[in-house]
């Protein structure tokens, strides 16, 4: 019967050890990538939850709009404020261009969903605006 050389057995074990170390390193890299992916998904989920909270909060939206309409240059220009189930309609008249620009700048910087904007020029400098906002 032939004897197996102990160097062959030692070489086999060294080869198995090297393959195990390479596989372990590869698995650690994959686990690190997976944890980074999970943490980025978690951060995106938190951002989405925060944005959803801001955009779908109808009470807060209504408070922001009311406070904007009650400001000094706009409160005298408001002609119509009408609230239906999930819509809020606002109409302003006799605005000049700088005041309209300021009003639209403020309303567009809020967390509101605008369904419709109508801008009409009544006369030379008078502008009328009608907004429909989803609550």
Ranges of each domain in the chain: 1-55, 58-134
pLDDT at 90: 92
Q: Which long-range contacts (CB under 8 A, 24 or more apart) does 48-52 make?
A: none
CA separation for the pair 38, 44 (Å, rounded): 10
Q: Thinking of the domain 58-134, which architecture would CATH place it in? A: 2-Layer Sandwich (3.30)
Q: 4-60, pLDDT tens digit by residue?
A: 888 999 999 999 999 999 999 999 999 999 999 999 999 999 999 888 887 777 888
Confidence grade of residue 1 (pLDDT, cut at 50, 70, 90): low
Residue closest to 62 by CA, chosen among 85, 94, 79, 46: 85
Q: 73-109, pLDDT tens digit by residue?
A: 888 888 899 988 888 899 999 888 899 899 999 888 8
Confidence (pTM): 0.62
Query: Of how many residues is the chain composed?
Result: 135
């Amino acid at each position: 019967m032939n004897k197996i050389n102990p160097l062959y057995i030692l070489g086999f074990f060294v080869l198995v050890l090297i393959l195990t170390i390479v596989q372990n390193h590869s698995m650690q890299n994959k686990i690190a990538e997976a944890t980074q992916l999970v943490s980025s998904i978690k951060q995106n989920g938190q951002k989405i939850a925060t944005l959803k909270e801001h955009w779908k909060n109808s009470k807060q939206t209504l408070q922001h709009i009311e406070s904007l309409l009650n400001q000094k240059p706009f409160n005298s220009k408001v002609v119509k404020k009408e609230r239906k189930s999930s819509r809020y309609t606002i109409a302003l008249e006799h605005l000049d261009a700088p005041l309209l620009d300021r009003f639209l700048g403020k309303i567009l910087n809020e967390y509101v969903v605008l369904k419709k904007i109508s801008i009409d020029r009544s006369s030379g400098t008078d502008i009328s605006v009608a907004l429909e906002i989803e609550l």
